[in-house]
Amino acid sequence: MISNKEFAAKVLEETSTCFERLNDLLLDAQEILSDQEFRELRIAVGKVLGEMYVEVERPIHKAHPNLEPEALRDG
């Protein structure tokens, strides 16, 4: 996907920030939204995070295995 390792690392930093911010948003939302609204938002955010992993992070990890967090590595 991205052949430049330094830029790939930057992309991963940004996606990590997105994950953290959206998770923080869900924590705030749980206190404010109705149960139904929170469930709908949680599902939508989950889809976004899943897509970001599948379409952005996983291809980078495949191209640059050393950038993949140890917790995600096989074996």
3-state secondary structure 20-41: HHHHHHHHHHHHHCCHHHHHHH
Q: Report CA-CA distances (Å) from 59 to 19, 34, 65.
A: 17, 37, 10
Burial string for 44-73 (b: 16+ CB within 10 Å, else e) reads ebeeebeebeeebbeebbeebeeebeeeee
Q: What's the pTM value of the predicted model, to 2 decimals?
A: 0.85
pLDDT digits 0-9 by tens, 17-43: 999 999 999 999 999 999 999 999 999
Amino acid at 43: I
